[in-house]
Amino acid sequence: MEERIVLQQGKALLADPRLNKGLAFSAAERDAFGLHGLLPQNIDTLDRQVDVAMKFLDSLATPFAQHVRLRAIQDSNETLFYAILERDLEKYLPVIYTPTIGEACRKFSEIWLMPRGLFLSWPERDRMDEILADPALDDVRVIVVTDGERVLGLGDQGVGGMGIPIGKLSLYTACAGIAPHQTLPIMLDVGTNNEELLASSDYIGWKHQRVQPAEYDAFIEQFVRAVHKRWPQILLHWEDFAAKNAAPILERYRQQLCVYNDDIQGTAAVTVGTILAANFASNARLSDHTFVLLGGGSAGVGIANLLLLMMKAEGTPEEEALSRFYIVEKEGLLTTRSPSLDAGQRRFARADWKGGVGDLAEVVHAVHPTVLIGACGVGGMFTEDIVRDMAAHCKRPIILPLSNPTSHAEAMPRDLFAWTDGRVLVSTGSPFPPIKHQGHLRRVDITNNAYIFPGVGLGVLACGAKHVTDGMIMAAARGLAAISPARTNPEGNLLPPLAEMHEAAIVVAEATARQAREEGVCEAFEDDELRQRIDRFVWSPEYQAYKKG
């Protein structure tokens, strides 16, 4: 066991979640740090603490109650928290993140007890540099930041959106092993347009309508400058920004520092990786497909953009590749006649559509898609008639209902299997129980961004990348597809089980770092030293012996 010099004493040591070991403090440590009388007599081990914690978690009635308990453990003893996740990540990932995180964000003001991360609010904008200057933050390497305007499929949650950066960074650690003290969740509190929150006496954020666009842009600019000044080598991960802001922010700053948007790039990478895996089962190439995407926001357009880049990399001319895409919004198919197209949507708007408004059913019937992707945030949109129509013209339809939480999924996997006579290749955005098909239970794949962003972050840190390029996102998608069970078994799952998230993160990290080297956005390194670079950033939830400083 490694030895660590510790300066805190007594209650201060027990109050530090990075150092607290609870009942696992040894007799010698209790002598040295003045812990006698503050702890019960029993001395425990980490394994035993995990057993006890999991037994109690199992006794709780709902995933939300388990989420609240796990967050309490995280805020008191981070090593124990991550040891629990390491013991059974597949069981607890849906508890600490989607779908349970949606309810946690809605009730954030009610369950908030302990400070975690930073809240940078508009009224305190002149204190930003002072807040970021805290010496405890000197070794931060990854920031996840949100303004809470478009949380999952729930819309504007104000400071409740802070639950997302906390959850995402928990997965950076649980999946990729990035040390907790090197991560920092940040909430940009620029107000909320959620009238229910503004009227609530319980709401803990700034009770004000969201600031105007000019003020908002200035605040974002101030934040980016302050972060870059404080941490020049930071990976800045943008999360759950409204579509009108997400893509412009990413494009504005991606050449200034190392920035990444998971809603755009992470969703795109895991979706493309899933489709590449499905191609193993259907014996197809991307250029063989016709894509219909329901939802033309940042996620939908991000998926289309990455698919387009990948098709061009396969050798498909851009004009031909673009002809394969149909993006449907609630008003209908995006065409060159559609009002208020943003730059991303304009690229995929159809000039050749001769039909009516182009709702989903009409488009599917007209173009016979082979891939149907849902990113609209509205449950049940992939109806039986639509799915059967698609399946009538496609041997192995690929259907990805990606919206979350679970209630917002465009279709239920069991229905998709029934409506396609079991021919569907399906992966969802939220967890579902296994499906019994032809006498066998089949795991439902989850197209979860956690397959991508922890590995991308680890790869960026390992190689010291200055930017996250489109090529690096493409490499991450290919890396994920390379470990698909369908690669060797056409009837197998498309994605590895959640229990293998750490292994997936290492593969994605290696692919990301090698592509960064190929594009010259990091320092040169030899192939045989890459794993050593990665291992330097991998932290394990283990207690260390403490020595008084």
CA distances, 261 to each of 117, 218, 248 (Å): 19, 19, 11
d(CA 326, CA 252): 27
d(CA 399, CA 131): 46
Alpha helices in 487-526 (DSSP H): 501-519
- What 3-state DSSP class applies to 80? helix
CB atoms within 10 A of CB 41: 7
| DSSP for 280-292, written as a single string | HHHT--GGG--EE
pLDDT digits (tens, 9 = 90+) for 123-140: 999 999 999 999 999 999
Q: Are 388 and 419 spatial neighbours (Cβ–Cβ below 8 Å)? A: yes
pLDDT digits (tens, 9 = 90+) for 513-541: 999 999 999 999 999 999 999 999 999 99
Quick one: how far is CA 73 from the chain centroid?
22
Annotation marks residue 543 as catalytic: no
Strand locations in 346-464, DSSP E?
371-374, 398-401, 425-428, 435-437, 440-442, 445-446
Torsion of CA 299, 305, 308, 310, to 10 degrees: -80
Closest listed residue to residue 140, CA positions, set 501, 543, 450, 457: 457
pLDDT score for 1: 58
d(CA 154, CA 196): 13
CA distances, 468 to each of 224, 299, 382, 459, 486 (Å): 16, 17, 34, 10, 28
Which residue out of 168, 216, 253, 260 is catalytically annotated?
168
Closest listed residue to residue 287, CA positions, set 275, 295, 298, 297: 275
The Cα angle at residue 306 between residues 521 and 162, in degrees rounded to 5? 80
Percent of the chain with pLDDT over 90: 90
Element (H, E) at 83: helix 78-87
Q: What is the mean pLDDT of the chain?
A: 95
d(CA 515, CA 468): 10
pLDDT over threshold 80, residue 439:
no
* pTM for this predicted structure: 0.94
Which residue out of 21, 82, 92, 97 is catalytically annotated?
97
Order of strands across the sheet with 425-428? 332-333, 325-329, 291-294, 371-374, 398-401, 425-428, 445-446
pLDDT digits (tens, 9 = 90+) for 267-300: 999 999 999 999 998 888 999 999 999 999 888 9
Annotation marks residue 97 as catalytic: yes
Q: Are 414 and 384 spatial neighbours (Cβ–Cβ below 8 Å)? A: no
pLDDT over threshold 70, residue 60:
yes
pLDDT score for 430: 86
- What 3-state DSSP class applies to 338? coil
Q: Are 290 and 369 spatial neighbours (Cβ–Cβ below 8 Å)? A: yes
pLDDT score for 13: 97
pLDDT digits (tens, 9 = 90+) for 228-259: 999 999 999 999 999 899 999 999 999 999 99
